Amino acid sequence: MNRRALTNPAAGLAAGILLLGTAACTGGTEGPDGKDRTAAACAHGRYAWSGVVREQKLTGLADPITLKRKTDSVSGVIKPLKGVSYKPHMTSTGPGARAAEAIKALGRHLGTAEPLAGPSEPAEPEEAPSEFSYDLGDLKGSYYAWNSVALVEADFTYTCRGGAAEPVRGHVVTWETVGGGFLSCAESMIDAGPAKAGAAERTAARTLCPAGSPAAKSA
C-alpha cells in the first residue's frame, strides 16, 4: 500500500504545562460520601507533562531495489523489522490515571492535528509484510522503501482537583502517524532543502542504497 514520507517532528517541549484531564484517582476521605467527593474531584484533575520526545522510528524495510531499465511503475513488499514493536500504552506509579484519557490529554498538550493513537490501536509494525506500488514514470537506478512511525513519549504527573489524593506519576507511549516512503538513492538528502530527512529515512538509505550513492553518503 502507498504510504507518504514523514518528517521527524522537533523534539522537546516545555515541561510542566498543566492541562485539564478526565482520569480518575483513588484514595481520599473514607466513607461513601468521601469517596463520591474524591471521585468528582479527580474527574477534573490536572496533567503536568515533561520529558516529551517526538521521534521517527523505522518499522520496516523493503529489499534493495535496482531497476536496470526505465519503467513507469514499481511494486514490492516492505518487511517488518524483527524485534521492533510499538504499542500505545501507559505505565504509572499507582491506580487512577487511565491510558486512553492520558493519551488524549497529551494530544491536547501538543496541539496535534489528529488524535494520538490510543491503547486500542494494534502494535506497529504489523506482523505481516505490507505491499507498496508506485506509478511515478521514468524510473531507473537504485531506490529504497521503508515504513516508519512518528513515536511520541512523555512523562506526566496527574493531580486530583483540590489535592483529594496523592499525585499519580506515569509515562505514556503513543504515536502521531504511521507512514514511510520510496526514494531514489541518486538523490542527496542535503539537496532536499529545508525539509530535513527523518531518522527512519536516513537509516533506510544507509541500509539499502549502494555505499557510494548520494543518498547513502548524505544519510
Low-confidence ranges of the chain (pLDDT < 70): 1-41, 43, 95-96, 163-164, 192-196
The continuous run of DSSP H or E covering 96 comes out as none
Residue 152 DSSP SS3: strand
pLDDT at 147: 97
Pairwise CA distance, residues 149 & 7, whole Å: 10
Give the residue from 118, 83, 125 showing the smallest Cα distance to 98.
118
pLDDT at 190: 82
Pairwise CA distance, residues 83 & 155, whole Å: 24
pLDDT at 165: 76
pLDDT at 191: 72
pLDDT at 88: 97
pLDDT at 2: 36
Alpha-carbon distance values, 162 to 18, 41, 110 (Å): 14, 7, 25
Report the number of secondary-structure helices (H) and strands (E) in the chain: 4, 6
pLDDT at 184: 96
Query: What's the burial of 153, exposed, middle or buried (CB within 10 Å: 0-12/13-18/19+)?
Result: middle
Pairwise CA distance, residues 203 & 192, whole Å: 16
